[in-house]
Chains A and B, each alone.
Chain A
Amino acid sequence: MTINGWTQIAVFLAVILAITKPLGVFMARVFSRERTFLDPVLRPIERLLYRVTSVNEEHEMRWTEYCVSMLLFSGVSMLVLYVIERVQQWLPLNPQKFGAVAQALAFNTAASFTTNTNWQNYSGESTMSYLTQMAGLAYHNFTSAAVGIALAIAFVRGIARKEKETIGNFWVDMTRSALWVLLPACIVYALLLVSQGVVQNLRPYDTAKLVETQQVQKTGADGKPLIGSDGKPVMDTVSSQTIAQGPVASQEAIKMLGTNGGGFFNANSSHPFENPTPLSNFLQMLSIFAIPAGLTYTLGRMTGSQRHGWAVWAAMAVLFLCGVATAYWAEASGNPLLHGADQQVSALQPGGNMEGKEVRFGIANSALFATVTTDASCGAINGVHDSFTPLGGMVPLVNIMLSETVFGGVGAGLYGILIYVVLSVFIAGLMVGRTPEYLGKKIEAYDVKMAMLVTLVFPLIILVLTAISSVAKFGLTSISNSGPHGLTQILYAFTSMAGNNGSAFAGLNGNTLWYNTAGAFTMLVGRFFMIIPMLAIAGNLAKKKTVPASAGTFPVTTPLFTVLLVSVILIVGALTFFPALSLGPVLEHLLMMAGKTF
């Protein structure tokens, strides 16, 4: 670990702190339908959209109608994505002439992008046409993020409103998220990325003549080197390199800002065309946390308790720092099994565990990126999580297991942590023997039941499907690393999909019938079975009267509250997943220190 590495991490958190308030104020204005500086350009587009889609923007919805509209929109747009994938060979903008995406894979991908997961069982550069990437995948990056923000705002309204039956209009919230929050930022951000070297074109792949022609061993269909009849390996001459291109920057911008994380290329943000410089890397990490951080301020502003917003922010920052410190330490310590390699940090190299990491990012930025992308439900990667040290790789896994409440996904992070806030307030209420209150609203049996439904469905689906996959043949054949690491690969996959994260221990072959279908099911449950109870709580809270705060009210604005919230998140996560973690990464760490390989 170096001073420079810690400086980069500190600057990152400082910038997040600095943009929280301006972004939060802006979003509060957008969703209260107050004037913003973008109105002269965007209001006409918004009105036009409502006219062609017959939306009445003055109409207010109960939570049930809000929920049904959200489900209908997600369902219809998911179907459209599936169809685009299946017929891309007949559509334009397909210079590499890619064929239709196979059924199971197309279904998995459609579910994945609709749920803001962006789990990918395909390689973008050899599967998807430019049109599919733009109008299918990047489109869902916008809408799944806009839906997430809309839901978070609806939840905040539920807390803020008194004796009301309604929580807003889904179509208006979703449209305003896309038009005011996401689209303008993405245009500027995409161009910034292009200035750093992220490609943005529609040209066919280029072919370069290599500077030095290479003789390489030819490999057979099984991936093993071919041996000729004379017993010598069969050699192949490689004299050219085909360079994949595409409209990458426009997709990259919304991929990060919408905490989607689905790479244009297989290597995601470790690919030099997606993330060419340390500055592009810094911007990408910032854009993951930007909206979720801003939403904590929006929460404070819309509920009239700004200090509560900051108390939630502080809980997130504490958990973030714990994660990044662990990951940075573990990766900088290196892999003790690589005896001949110099893993010491010096002025000339960052050292550490460089397997799966890019030189331009080194250790600090790879550890930071891995923490940020899993604190939020982003799931983009700039290094291979599968090749992290056992404890370094456990950090992203644990982050997702904590329901991605550390800043979290756009929208999903806020309503995720508010579920924990409800639980924290409930526990505090039990401790003093009073009916718990949250910002003047009594938290009653119905609210707590719904909150528990969210916290129970999540581990249930992860642990059951991991257990099935780690004993059944159709689950085990996909593993690429033996020993405890194999279990971690499966556990990570279902955790990532249920948490709608999308990052992977990518050695696991997910493109099988089992993982495609079980995975799609997991992602859909992980998204919508969290949203429905959450909206039910919102609708229920909106109806309630407010009770004035008294001496017995547990304040949700103090450091004590922050500590309680952090503890509840950690205890729920630890109690649920500790046994599985100890059989995976913890065991692997101990065996690695003992010099064991698999």
Chain B
Amino acid sequence: MKKNLITAMLMTAATTVLLGIIYPLLVTGLAQAMFPKQANGELIYARDGKLVGSSSAGSSLVGSRLIGQTFSGPGYFHSRPSAAGAAGYDATASGGSNLGPTNAQLITRVNGDVAKLRAENPGKNSDTLIPVDLVTTSGSGLDPDITPAAAEFQVHRVAAERKIPEGEVAQLVRDHTENRQWGFLGEPRVNVLELNLALDARYGRSH
């Protein structure tokens, strides 16, 4: 008993050093050497309005390719609603709504968003069904993607607001549609931040 107690204490100390300190630091070192971009969050920087690959003098951080942002202006593609933080897309407060399927708050919120999206998007009427991802919050509250259906739904509005041909915007959406990984894993998706940055880069910032 006493011998095993001493072993328990020594074992805790020794394995903490090995598994709790050396292991994560080793992985950090290897990751920073092999995949520096991914290991730091696939951050996107800009200098003088132009996107640059990495941090440098005079550049500012625009966001992470993997972390969604809120967009509300008609000239931008909108992300999904978010339950992360009070304002949404708070990357220090990730999480979902945790509203159950029969919760009246969920139904009211979705109905409100459906009405808002119908009103915001020209040519949609009170029968238009909204792609479900545009009116539901994600699990993380930081989902960077929308479905191709949700992007297509917004093409008309973005093109009209920016006064550019709809076909060009639709093409841009297709260029930014990521297919299933290895052809069968996951679902096709459109990264909203990258799509909006591409719009701004080609047609200037939307106001």
Measured CB to CB, the residues of A under 8 A from B are 4, 7-8, 11, 45, 49, 52-55, 65, 68-69, 72-73, 75-77, 80, 123, 125-126, 134-136, 138-139, 142-143, 171, 174-175, 178, 183, 186-187, 190-191, 194-203, 205-212, 214-216, 219, 223, 236, 238, 241-245, 247, 249-251, 253, 265-267, 270-273, 276-279, 281-282, 334-335, 337-343, 346, 348-362, 365-366, 381-384, 386-390, 480-485, 488, 505-507, 588, 591-592, 596-598
Contacts and interface: CB of A to CB of B under 8 A. Distances in A.
B166 interface: no
A223 B86 contact: yes
Contacts of A55: 7, 11
Most buried by A among B96, B110, B206: B96
Contact of A187 (B4, B26, B186): B26
Most buried by A among B34, B92, B145: B92
Contacts of B99: 355, 386-387, 480-481, 507
A242 B91 contact: yes
B69 interface: yes
B64 interface: yes
A273 B66 contact: yes
Given A281-B185, A340-B111, 8 more contacts: A53-B7, A136-B20, A142-B15, A208-B61, A209-B62, A273-B67, A355-B97, A588-B100
A330 B149 CA distance: 22
Contacts of B71: 211-212
A211 B69 contact: yes
Interface string B1-42: 101111111111011101111011011101110110011111
Contacts of A238: 70, 87
A272 B97 contact: no
Contact of B185 (A282, A346, A353): A282
B96 to A, nearest CB: 4
A54 B7 contact: yes
B154 interface: no
Nearest to A49: B14
B97 A384 contact: yes
A386 B10 CA distance: 42
Given A245-B41, A349-B133, A272 B76 contact: no
Contacts of B88: 216
B158 interface: no
A360 B90 CA distance: 19
A138 B23 CA distance: 10
B137 A210 contact: no
A348 B149 contact: yes
B169 interface: no
B30 A272 contact: no
A93 to B, nearest CB: 10
B41 A68 contact: no
Contacts of A4: 180, 184
B129 A356 contact: no
Given A241-B89, A249-B27, A341-B135, A505 B152 contact: no
Contact of A388 (B40, B101, B144): B101
A211 B197 contact: yes
A591 to B, nearest CB: 6
B106 interface: yes
Contact of B143 (A178, A203, A223, A359): A359
A139 B11 CA distance: 12
A359 B147 contact: yes
13 contacts: A53-B7, A200-B28, A209-B60, A209-B62, A249-B27, A267-B84, A273-B67, A279-B185, A335-B101, A337-B102, A354-B132, A356-B97, A384-B139
Contacts of A337: 101-102, 107
A342 B131 contact: yes
B93 interface: yes
